[in-house]
Structure 1
Amino acid sequence: MTASHSSAGRYILTSVALFTAIAPFVADFNTTHIYNPSWPAHAKFHNGQTMSMGVFLGLSTLYYTWRTPATPDTLFTATMLATAYYITLLSSWFYPGAKPGPEDSPDDFSQLWPSLGIFALSAGAHVLERKRIRGMKTE
């Protein structure tokens, strides 16, 4: 097996993992969310849970992305972990009274486009990495 451990697929999943771990803090660790004086303590509790979940999923994605030996199962796990935050983010639209953007904005799709981008990147990374893993088995 002479195939490189590095690949475009792994680097893309790594980028998704880092984004997932950092972006919730960039978006929520401010006066509109965690420091919002009008938010009740329980809402802040769940906001903290969400930010911590991003870190956990990002680190877990990194672990399975770079775990050796690379297998289709570890790749599938990495891809599922990479997209889990965004699947749950999009499902939030369906809860009563939930709104993805500021209260004063019309229908806001600002959460939709990054989530779809993450899905596309993760799917592309999965395909690239799957090809690399298959290539390792034939050498």
Structure 2
Amino acid sequence: MPAPATTGRGLYTLVGLTTAIGGYLADWNHTHVFNDRWPPHAKFHNGQTMSMGLCLGLSTLYYVWRRNPNITAEKDALRISTWLASMYWITQMSAILYPGSRAMDPEFGDGFPQAYLCAGLGLIIWGGYYLESGRIMEMEKRKA
């Protein structure tokens, strides 16, 4: 039995909302935006990252929920949604690879707690993709 039409979209919605507001929830505090030890340029890039998350999250929601005129457009929207939903989290995982980069400032702890969030959201994205692909295949069968 196929998943309900909104199950996959619900998973994308969870990721889209997390991407859109997560940076603000995590960074609008003394560890980032209001950290007096951060130079202005670091805060500039933090603001850029938060704004990028907002744009990617809202774009994910737009593409996953918009009405599409046909199956081809539906497939394209799913691919676009998957890419948009993934970009922020892929780039967050890659940030640790830059010279001198750390996932946390030493005064606030050690480790890479973002890795668990990124991996979990990646699994949710692919779960949503699987469910939405199944929904689209069912649409194709009904049209045939």
- Please, which of 129, 132, 137 is the counterpart of residue 134 of structure 1? 137
Residue 38 (structure 2) aligns with: 39
Amino acid at match of 1:128: L
- Mapped partners of 2:99, 2:123: distance in 1: 28
Q: Within 5 Å, which residues of 2 pair with 1:56-135?
A: 56-69=55-68, 71-104=74-107, 105-106=109-110, 108-135=111-138
Structure 1: stretches of 5+ with no match in the other structure = none
CA deviation vs aligned residue, 1:25-83 (integer Å, no higher than 9, x gap): 01101111011111111000000000001100000000110122261111011011011
- Mapped partners of 1:71, 1:130: distance in 2: 10
Per the TM alignment, residue 7 of structure 1 is displaced from its structure 2 partner at its CA by 1.6
Per the TM alignment, residue 137 of structure 1 is displaced from its structure 2 partner at its CA by 1.5
Q: Which has the higher helix share?
A: 2
- Mapped partners of 1:25, 1:96: distance in 2: 25
SS at match of 1:7: helix
Structure 2: stretches of 5+ with no match in the other structure = none
What TM-score, normalized by structure 1, do the two folds share?
0.92
Over 6 Å off, 4+ runs: none
- Mapped partners of 1:6, 1:25: distance in 2: 30
- Mapped partners of 1:75, 1:92: distance in 2: 26
Q: Is the 8 A contact 1:7 1:132 kept in 2?
A: no
Cα RMSD (Å) of the superposition? Answer: 1.4
What TM-score, normalized by structure 2, do the two folds share?
0.88
Q: Is the 8 A contact 1:20 1:54 kept in 2?
A: yes
Amino acid at match of 1:125: G
Aligned length, in residue pairs: 134
Sequence identity percentage: 46
